[in-house]
Amino acid sequence: MKPIDKCKQIRDDYVIRQVEKAKLPAFEDDRFVRRHMVFSGRVQHVGFRLEIALLAKRLELTGWVKNLENGDVEAEFQGFESRIRFLLKFMRSLKRIKINRLENKPHSLQQEETDFLIL
């Protein structure tokens, strides 16, 4: 295994453990929404997409996340609004990630969607 691959594996293992031990509150089911977001800041090469995808799955959200060429990360989340708010609060609390700007816009629901993907 190359040293860079070993570093990525260590980071990914850390991210997986962090998401697994995150304490989720008891959520009240509220409005079911879809949000389109673009995160700017230190959001690439820090496990951001993996962490979002794992946490989104734990929160029973669907959607997708992907890196953009300009260094931003784009995502769509679909599910109960309180769970999406929790995900955003959790991501902002991480020290290795720095979200400087967040575009957050409503989007139309995708009824056929069943999973959360890393693109």
Long-range contact pairs involving 88-96 (C-beta distance under 8 Å, separation at least 24): 90/22, 90/55, 91/39, 91/48, 91/51, 91/52, 91/55, 94/18, 94/51, 96/42, 96/46, 96/47
Catalytic residue among 34, 49, 83, 92: 49
Say whether 101 is catalytic.
no
Whether 83 is catalytic is no
Marked catalytic residue, from 31, 67, 92, 104 = 67
The residues assigned a catalytic role are 49, 67
